[in-house]
Amino acid sequence: MIDKGIKIIGKLYILGPLVFLLLLWLIYRQVTHQPGWQDSLGQIKAAVTGPQQWKLWLVLLLMPLNWGIEARKWQLALRPIGGIPYRNAFMAVFTGTTMACFTPNRMGEYLGRILYIKEGQRIRAISLTMACSIAQLMVTLFIGLLGICYLYATTRSAPAGLRHWQLALTILGYTVATLLILLTFIYCRLSLVASVLLKIPGIGKYSAFIKVLENFDAAILLRILFLSFGRYIVFIIQYSLVFPVFGVALGFWQAWNGMSVVFLVMAIIPTLTFLTELGLRWEASIQVLELYSSNVVGIFAASFAIWLINLIIPALIGSLLIVRIKLFKSR
């Protein structure tokens, strides 16, 4: 069924350019519907030609590193089904980003990636891709939990008007800790979880998704987890570089703790498409970072710049790569 659907997509030779144009139109609509977008866009234009423009260019250069790490994670995850060349893995993550823009909670990312997998292996590849996502989510939850603890300690001495944060952070902290423990068990015992699931009556039709998880090597899982942490560090460095460009005065650890909570919120709150992701990114950033800086326009601009660099540019690249995919030739 999946392979048949993919073949239909492959026959649409103009799909890539159409997706590219559609993305541009949706980006324009999304940006122009955000409050304060003109001020943020004006700050970005000024920053590109300002004295700290080198930081923006460095953030842009870190974008391929960000997705390159993700490509390496996926390449490692696919070893149980024969692997994939790194070049193809790199293109796959860009194509996945394109597909993710049009689906709830970025679920289309899986479809975009498996376009690069030969027929017969695509269903199994979905499970392996989900293992990569679990590893990244675990890192996000763990560091986000530390950020919650830091914010909780910060708001204890805050004015009475900010005390409402304490209840919200307490509930969020316990929820995240519970989810983190559950995911850690699943990730560290994937083979055990797979064997248990296969014994459930009626699960036979999903066995292709599950059996592949029994062959995961513990060393590979550890390397994927380590790479996920490295990718997280790249995110933090990007934000730490871009905040000063837009006049948001944050120290490195303030940026680290503040953005760890923002990343956490974005990871656990469902979004319909990237159309709602930008609004969520802005709102979460403002709510958390206002504890450290009152420069709301600067926070807008920094979030917008990172959104463009880390998501939109890769999505546009991925839309153009779609037409290069050889869907009918086994590799």
Q: What is the residue extent of each domain of the chain?
A: 2-324
Judged against a pLDDT cut of 50, whether residue 318 lies above it is answered with yes
**Backbone dihedral region for residue 106 (phi beyond 0: left; psi -120 to 50: alpha; all else: beta):** left
**Residue whose token pair is 């153009």:** 320
- Mean of pLDDT over the chain: 78
What value does the mean pLDDT take over residues 104-119? 78
Report whether 278 contacts 30 (CB < 8 A): yes
How confident is the model at residue 141, as a pLDDT?
94
- In sequence order, what are the residues at sequence separation of 6 or more whose Cβ sits closer than 8 angstroms to the Cβ of residue 125? 78, 81, 113, 114, 117
pLDDT digits (tens, 9 = 90+) for 244-289: 888 888 888 888 888 898 888 888 876 555 555 656 666 677 777 7
CB neighbour list of residue 50: distance below 8 Å, 6 or more residues apart? 245
d(Cα 205, Cα 209) in Å, to the nearest integer?
9
Residue whose pair of structure tokens reads 């560290």 in the numeric block: 188
pLDDT in tens, 4-63: 444 444 444 445 556 556 655 665 665 566 566 676 667 777 777 778 888 989 999 999
Q: C-alpha 311: how far from its chain's center?
A: 9
Q: Using the CB atoms, write b or e for 109-120: b if 16+ within 10 Å.
A: bbbbbbbbbbee
pLDDT number for residue 26: 60
pLDDT(115) > 90: no
**Is residue 228 a contact partner of residue 73, using CB atoms and an 8 Å limit?**
yes
Distance, CA of 314 to CA of 62 (rounded, Å): 12
pLDDT of residue 303: 82
Q: In the structure, what pLDDT confidence band is assigned to residue 232 with cuts at 50, 70 and 90?
A: very high
pLDDT of residue 258: 86
Between 90-94, 115-119, 171-175, the lowest mean confidence (pLDDT) is in 115-119
Q: Give residue 157's pLDDT.
A: 62
pLDDT digits (tens, 9 = 90+) for 278-292: 566 666 777 777 777
Distance, CA of 255 to CA of 74 (rounded, Å): 28
**292 within 8 A of 273, measured Cβ to Cβ:** no
Q: Which of 122, 125, 120, 118 is nearest to 75 (CA)?
A: 125
Confidence check: pLDDT of 98 > 70 = yes
What does the pLDDT read at residue 52? Answer: 82
Confidence of residue 230 (pLDDT cuts 50, 70, 90): very high
Q: What is the rounded distance in angstroms from the CA atom of residue 182 to the CA atom of residue 180? A: 5
Mean pLDDT, residues 91-99 taken together: 87
- Segment among 124-128, 162-166, 229-233, 248-252 with least mean pLDDT: 162-166
The angle subtended at Cα 34 by Cα 30 and Cα 38, nearest 5°, is: 105
| pLDDT of res. 159 | 54
